[in-house]
Structure 1
Amino acid sequence: MPERIYNFSPGPATLPYEVLQEASRDVLNFRDKGIGILEISHRSKEFSEVIQEAEADLRELMDIPDDYYVLFLQGGASTQFAMVPMNLLMPDKKGAYLNTGTWAKKAIKEAKTIAKVQVAYSSEDSSFDHVPTDDQYDVDEDAEYLYFVSNNTIYGTQFHKFPEKGKMLVSDMSSDILSRRFDIRPFGLIFAGAQKNMGPAGVTVVIVRKDLVNRAPENLSTMFKYKTHAEKGSMFNTPPCFSIYCVGRVLKWLKAKGGVDAIEKINREKAKILYDAIDNSDFYKGHARPDSRSFMNVTFNLPTPELEKKFVEEAEKEGLSGLKGHRSIGGIRASIYNAFPVKGVEELVEFMKEFERKNG
């Protein structure tokens, strides 16, 4: 096997090497049962233990109270764009949304097909280079919830302080869940696709307050009701077993690292190293405003698109992969989620300095 590269991809993203090693063994022989994790029945005692442990560890790491369900669903975070208003809003009710990037726009589009929507704020006019503070927008009194994307992978922005508008919060936390400590109690629902910070693609975690699952209209299709999955312990149908298993192993890894508080400290260290390199250079320019910068996805530009292309190509040769920015804004994007090592950030900074020396 060749030497492992540093994967800066925004998702599917890098996983802890220890988890990959453990998974590679369990694919062939899970818990010395003579059968692999990909083959065991989701109704078996062994898999029941896997999913129950994953839920228990997530509850511990995020301090999730008993009055919330933890669901392991399929369909990606994109399915949640529709499921949230389907379950929480009747046709005559309204949801308030903060438009801070591509994924928020997609959620707004889906919600508008189901119920009334208030776009309380949009940063589109400034190329989504920031997230708002509470004093920059108002939420309609009749809005049932305030929806926001906690971290924007494409534009490299992040809410460092969550909204406090007296409304139940709903958030897409696909790209920064478990990266920092916060109080879940103001939230009615949180969802996250696993493939950025929790595990491989295939499973979406939904954390929903128990009283909310009864809001869904009776004529809503069975599979689209949170209540369906809550009542069956996420096993109404065959769940994405291997993805859930991997999430469980990542949670164990995170606990061994010292939990969310410990990983938040590391995440801040990684981001500071990279942002300092950008700020101390006239060659590189960050996309996000300093007060909205993401600790997970660092986006920046070089003087020309031609230099950006050259940067990506030469970085790839040095084992620094996945740095090409999203097609909508171009530039460079370094995704440095929980499992991404500090050493990889340090090596990227050294490459940036050398590239600037040769091309600046």
Structure 2
Amino acid sequence: MSTNSVPTQTTPTSDATHHRLPNFSAGPATIPTAVLSRAQEELLDWQGRGMSVMEVSHRSKEYMAITDKAEAKLRSLMSIPDNYKVLFLQGGASLQFSAIPLNLLNGGKADYLTTGTWSAKAIKEAQRYAALGLGEINLVATGKDSNFTDVPAPDSWNNSDNAAYFHYCANETIHGLQIFEPPQVDAPLIADMSSCILSQPIDVSKFGMIYAGAQKNIGPAGLVIVIVRDDLLGQASEWCPLLMNYAHQADKESMSNTPPTYSWYLAGLVFDWLEEQGGVAAIGKINQQKADLLYKTIDDSHFYSNSVATQYRSIMNIPFNLADSSLDKVFLEESEAAGLLNLKGHRDVGGMRASIYNAVSLEWVQQLVDFMLAFEKKHA
């Protein structure tokens, strides 16, 4: 991993006024302090109108200006081509587990790669629609035998001929496994990027569709962003609910019904903040530096370990275990007392997990590393 020196975020990481502490939650996750401060300032009196943005009609020209700007900023940050629609929807990423087969399966066959909990949930949901006769779901490969610490070699995958789409999860939040390069497949590529969107530059044109829950790198929970190529629209099953129909939502500019207005507004503020940091390329260098620092601390120690194959180690979600698991409770108690929050690993895998999304500063990661080294010295 690269260790190039890069500037840290300009947003304050903590101060006495806001009492901000290092928060390593996997989601809902840390939101930049500058974004929260601006939202606080505007909460009761947005744009001098004497009311909150939450109280403004979503169809007013004032609110439409927010949505137009947010989409334009996201398109710019990700270099989204013109032949893609950008949808700001409700239901989170998990609702897309149903929406995708309902919109794209259309009596055909779809390929799914399983690399962890979230991709396993996606294929399980898709199989429900296959059971109704809407198409066929094919598991091309699973990393279950490695306890989702590695990805099966692509030459072992059982890909379908003429698949309607190929689905995978680019970053498995729970297991800390990330696929950095898009799979080389013939079918339209569908990626769940909930935990890695906007963390590094990607080539959107390689994908048929990208979707991401907002509560990691975009803003608060309640919003999901869908980026879908135009040629994949208009194929929905007659069973597809209207509010889950991507073509319908594109026609209605994501406003078939009242959208999650405050989450959309906050997402726009996060996009502004990210642009101020220098964009996705700049934040990607900081993210790599944060991950390098934490992984080096783990790898240089006999006290901590990470079992994910090196080439698939996530730069957003870093699980780690203590050599003596009886110290887990002590680690969590002492880390919280030190002001380091939400380091407990997911119940499915145990141990610890540090989620270091865009809004988590390098300073916070250094504080975590300093604590880990002191804890090891004390308890080894």
TM-score range normalised by the length of the shorter chain: over 0.9
Q: CA deviation at 1:182?
A: 1.3
Aligned partners of 1:353, 1:186: CA distance in 2, in Å? 41
Q: Which moved more, 1:249-258 or 1:126-135?
A: 126-135
Asked if 1:238 is matched to 2:258, the reply is yes
**What is the DSSP-based 3-state SS (H/G/I as helix, E as strand, rest coil) of the residue aligned with 1:34?**
coil
Aligned partners of 1:24, 1:181: CA distance in 2, in Å? 30
Asked if 1:160 is matched to 2:180, the reply is yes
Aligned partners of 2:278, 2:215: CA distance in 1, in Å? 22
Aligned partners of 2:362, 2:286: CA distance in 1, in Å? 8
Name which of 65, 76, 79 aligns with 2:95.
79
> In the alignment, is the contact (CA less than 8 A) between 2:28 and 2:215 conserved in 1?
yes
Aligned partners of 1:241, 1:147: CA distance in 2, in Å? 29
Cross-structure match for 2:326: 306
> In the alignment, is the contact (CA less than 8 A) between 1:133 and 1:163 conserved in 2?
no
Q: How does 1:1-360 map to 2 (within 5 A)?
A: 3-90=19-106, 92-115=107-130, 116-360=136-380
Q: CA deviation at 1:217?
A: 2.4
> In the alignment, is the contact (CA less than 8 A) between 2:99 and 2:240 conserved in 1?
no
> In the alignment, is the contact (CA less than 8 A) between 1:131 and 1:158 conserved in 2?
no
Q: CA deviation at 1:220?
A: 2.6
Q: CA deviation at 1:219?
A: 4.2
The code of the aligned residue for 1:33 comes to R
The code of the aligned residue for 2:352 comes to I
The code of the aligned residue for 1:287 comes to S
Instruction: Kindly provide the CA deviation profile for residues 308-352 of structure 1, in whole angstroms up to 9, marking residues without a partner as x.
Output: 121111100011000000001100000000110000000100000
Aligned partners of 1:46, 1:347: CA distance in 2, in Å? 42
The code of the aligned residue for 1:6 comes to P
The code of the aligned residue for 1:269 comes to Q
**What is the DSSP-based 3-state SS (H/G/I as helix, E as strand, rest coil) of the residue aligned with 1:70?**
strand
Aligned partners of 1:272, 1:296: CA distance in 2, in Å? 11
* Structure 2: gaps (5+ residues): 1-16, 131-135
Aligned partners of 2:128, 2:249: CA distance in 1, in Å? 23
Closer/same/farther in 2, CA of residues 132 and 267 from structure 1, 3 Å limit = farther
Q: Which moved more, 1:32-41 or 1:261-270?
A: 32-41
> In the alignment, is the contact (CA less than 8 A) between 1:134 and 1:165 conserved in 2?
no
Q: CA deviation at 1:123?
A: 0.5
Q: CA deviation at 1:144?
A: 1.4
> In the alignment, is the contact (CA less than 8 A) between 2:139 and 2:158 conserved in 1?
no
Q: CA deviation at 1:2?
A: 6.5
The code of the aligned residue for 1:247 comes to A
Q: CA deviation at 1:89?
A: 0.6
The code of the aligned residue for 1:139 comes to N
Q: Which moved more, 1:26-35 or 1:248-257?
A: 26-35
Q: CA deviation at 1:165?
A: 1.8
Aligned partners of 1:165, 1:71: CA distance in 2, in Å? 25
* Number of matched pairs: 359
> In the alignment, is the contact (CA less than 8 A) between 1:323 and 1:334 conserved in 2?
yes
CA RMSD of aligned residues (A): 1.1
> In the alignment, is the contact (CA less than 8 A) between 1:213 and 1:227 conserved in 2?
yes
Aligned partners of 2:228, 2:303: CA distance in 1, in Å? 45
> In the alignment, is the contact (CA less than 8 A) between 2:102 and 2:239 conserved in 1?
no
**What is the DSSP-based 3-state SS (H/G/I as helix, E as strand, rest coil) of the residue aligned with 1:7?**
coil
**What is the DSSP-based 3-state SS (H/G/I as helix, E as strand, rest coil) of the residue aligned with 1:164?**
coil
Q: CA deviation at 1:132?
A: 3.9
> In the alignment, is the contact (CA less than 8 A) between 1:148 and 1:172 conserved in 2?
yes
**What is the DSSP-based 3-state SS (H/G/I as helix, E as strand, rest coil) of the residue aligned with 2:254?**
coil
Q: CA deviation at 1:108?
A: 0.4
Aligned partners of 1:131, 1:320: CA distance in 2, in Å? 31
> In the alignment, is the contact (CA less than 8 A) between 2:110 and 2:166 conserved in 1?
yes
Q: CA deviation at 1:246?
A: 0.5
**What is the DSSP-based 3-state SS (H/G/I as helix, E as strand, rest coil) of the residue aligned with 2:209?**
strand
> In the alignment, is the contact (CA less than 8 A) between 1:100 and 1:149 conserved in 2?
yes
Q: CA deviation at 1:250?
A: 0.3
Q: TM-score, normalised by structure 1?
A: 0.97
